[in-house]
Amino acid sequence: MEKLERDVVVIGAGAAGLSAAYELKKAGLSVAVLEARDRVGGRLWTDDIDGAMLEIGGQWVSPDQDVLLGMLDELGLETYSRYREGDSIYVNADGRATRFTGEDFPLAESTQQEMDKLVEALDELSKEVDPADPWRHPRAKELDRISLAGWLESLSEDKEARDNVAMFIAGAMLTKPAHAFSVLQAAQMAASAGSFRHLVDADFILDKRVIGGLQQVPLRLSARLDGDVHLNQPVRSLRSGESVPSGMGVVVTSDDVEVSARHAIVAMPPNLISRISFDPPLPRRQQQMHQHLSLGLVIKVHAVYDRPFWREQGLSGTAFGPYQIVHESYDNTNYGDERGTLVGFVSDETADQMFRLPAEQRREQILDSLAAYYGDEARHPEVYYESDWAAEEWTRGAYAASFDLGGLSRYGADLRSSVGSIHFACSDFAGAGFQHVDGALRMGKAAATAIVAQHSEQPRMQGAGISS
C-alpha cells in the first residue's frame, strides 16, 4: 500500500474532480486524485470504435457555458459548429415525416397554439427560479409535489403538444419519464440553461463540439497535474474525526493507495457515494438526500456512414419524433471527416424496452427509427455503437442525477454543504450548468475555492504547486 500525505485528496477524476485538483494546485496546495477507472474523464469519454472516433459521453458546448468555454481557452482547445444547414424532420404519432425549418414543429395549428402556450408557461416559470437555489421559490413545495406530466395535463388537453414539451426536458435532459420528477425540477433544469426556450433551440443547446473530443478537457487537466492522478484506485473507505492522525482531516483508502489529507473532495455522482464506507458515517441528512437522487437512463446511438447522405437530400440531420424509439437525432459528423455520423437518443422507458431485446433486434429497431427520419439508407451504417452508461460500474446511468418528487425542496438547501473536512462536487449538484460539464467545472472550482480560503493561514505540504 502506497501511503501519501497531501493537503487535499480528490475522489474521482471526472471534470469536477480534475478541475478542483487543478485549481488547488494553482493555489499552491498539494493534491492526490484517486480514480476508480483505468482512464480519466468519467462521463467524458472519446474513443475509437471500429475506426470511428465517437463521443461516448458528453460532447456539446452551448454559448451560456462560460466556465467550460473559459476552460477550453485555457487548455488551448478549439471548437467547431454542429452541421445545421437544410431542413429538419418531424415524425408525428402516425409515423409521417414532415420537413420544417426553424424551431416550430410542423403541427396542426391548434396543437401549435397549445405548444406555444406550454412553452411560454414553462419559460415564465423557469425565469422565476434561480438555478442555484430553486427551493427558495415562494411556491417551491407546491411545485415540487406536482409531476411535470401532471402540470402539463392541468394546462392543456392537447396530447401531442404536451408530449413535445415534455420531450425537451424528460426524454432529452433528465432522461426520466415526465411523471417521475417535479415541475420544480423541470424549471431548475431549464433555468440552469438560461431558459426553457434554450432547451427547445437545438442550435443553442447543441451549438459546438471540441475538435478531438470533449474528453480532451480531463486529459489535459490530468497532464497538468503531473503524476497526482492515480488510476484503477476505487476508493473503499474514508475515515475522518478522531481516528485520523493529528493535523489531518481524513484518511482515504483505495485498493493500493492510502492518502492522509486535510480535506477530501468527493467528486462522484451521488448514487455512488454510499459505496464508500464512511467512518464515522455521513450525517443522516446526507445519507437520506443521496438516496433521493437518481440517474436517468438514455442510450446514445452512433451510426457512421460512408458519407453524410442526408445532406444530399437537403437535410440538416436534425430530427424529432416524440413517439419514435429515437426521439431526437442529429448530424454528428466529426471535424474534417468525409464520413457522416448520426447520433440519436433513446430515453427512459423506451430505453428499458430496447434493453429487453437481444442486441441484434435492438439494433434493427433503432435503425428502423433512424430510417423513419432519413430514409432506407440509414439502415446500413458502416459503424454502429450504443453508449450504455447504465452498465458502467462507476456511473450506472445517464446523463446525470436529479431528485424524485419532493426531493428538491426537501433536501436542496443541503445539496452542496460540506461535512467537516469532506466536500462534495459534481455536475449533479450544480445550479448553473446543472447536469452538464460546465456545472461539473463550476462545482470543482467552488470546492477548491472553499478549501483555499480555509487554508490561507496554514502552512503548505510537500508536493504543492502546478507543474506547467
Residues that bind ligand FAD (CB under 6 A): 11-17, 34-37, 42-44, 57-60, 234-235, 267-269, 272, 275-276, 300, 387, 389, 394-395, 398-400, 426-427, 435-438, 440
Distances (CA, A) of 228 to 12, 38, 223: 12, 14, 9
Query: Minimum distance between the CB of residue 433 and ligand FAD, rounded to whole angstroms?
Result: 7
Query: Minimum distance between the CB of residue 127 and ligand FAD, rounded to whole angstroms?
Result: 22
Based on CB atoms, which residue is closest to ligand FAD, 151 or 424?
A: 424
Residue 118 contacts residue 162 (beta carbons within 8 Å) = yes
Based on CB atoms, which residue is closest to ligand FAD, 44 or 91?
A: 44
Query: Minimum distance between the CB of residue 430 and ligand FAD, rounded to whole angstroms?
Result: 8
Based on CB atoms, which residue is closest to ligand FAD, 5 or 207?
A: 207
The values of phi and psi at residue 177, to 5°, are -60, 150
Based on CB atoms, which residue is closest to ligand FAD, 383 or 390?
A: 390
CA 392 to chain centre: 15
Query: Minimum distance between the CB of residue 269 and ligand FAD, rounded to whole angstroms?
Result: 5
Query: Minimum distance between the CB of residue 266 and ligand FAD, rounded to whole angstroms?
Result: 9
Based on CB atoms, which residue is closest to ligand FAD, 56 or 115?
A: 56
State whether the Cα torsion 53-59-62-68 is positive or negative.
Answer: negative
- Whole-angstrom Cα distance, residue 261 to residue 244? 9
CA angle 160, 165, 167 (to 5 degrees): 95
- Angle, to 10 degrees, between the axis of helix 15-26 and the axis of helix 216-224? 30
Based on CB atoms, which residue is closest to ligand FAD, 24 or 44?
A: 44
Instruction: Give me the DSSP letters along 381-440.
Output: -SEEEEE-GGG-TTT-SSS-EEE-TTHHHHHGGGTT--BTTEEE--GGG-STTTTSHHHH
Nearest to residue 330, comparing CAs of 363, 365, 303, 354? 303
Query: Minimum distance between the CB of residue 157 and ligand FAD, rounded to whole angstroms?
Result: 34
Question: Looking up cell 463521443, which residue turns up?
Answer: 55
Based on CB atoms, which residue is closest to ligand FAD, 172 or 187?
A: 172
Based on CB atoms, which residue is closest to ligand FAD, 191 or 268?
A: 268
Distances (CA, A) of 26 to 31, 67, 135, 153, 464: 11, 17, 34, 51, 9
Query: Minimum distance between the CB of residue 46 and ligand FAD, rounded to whole angstroms?
Result: 11
Helix H or strand E segment including 223: helix 216-224
Based on CB atoms, which residue is closest to ligand FAD, 122 or 437?
A: 437
Query: Minimum distance between the CB of residue 312 and ligand FAD, rounded to whole angstroms?
Result: 27
Output the nine-digit C-alpha cell for 337. Answer: 471527416
- Whole-angstrom Cα distance, residue 105 to residue 89? 8
Query: Minimum distance between the CB of residue 41 and ligand FAD, rounded to whole angstroms?
Result: 6
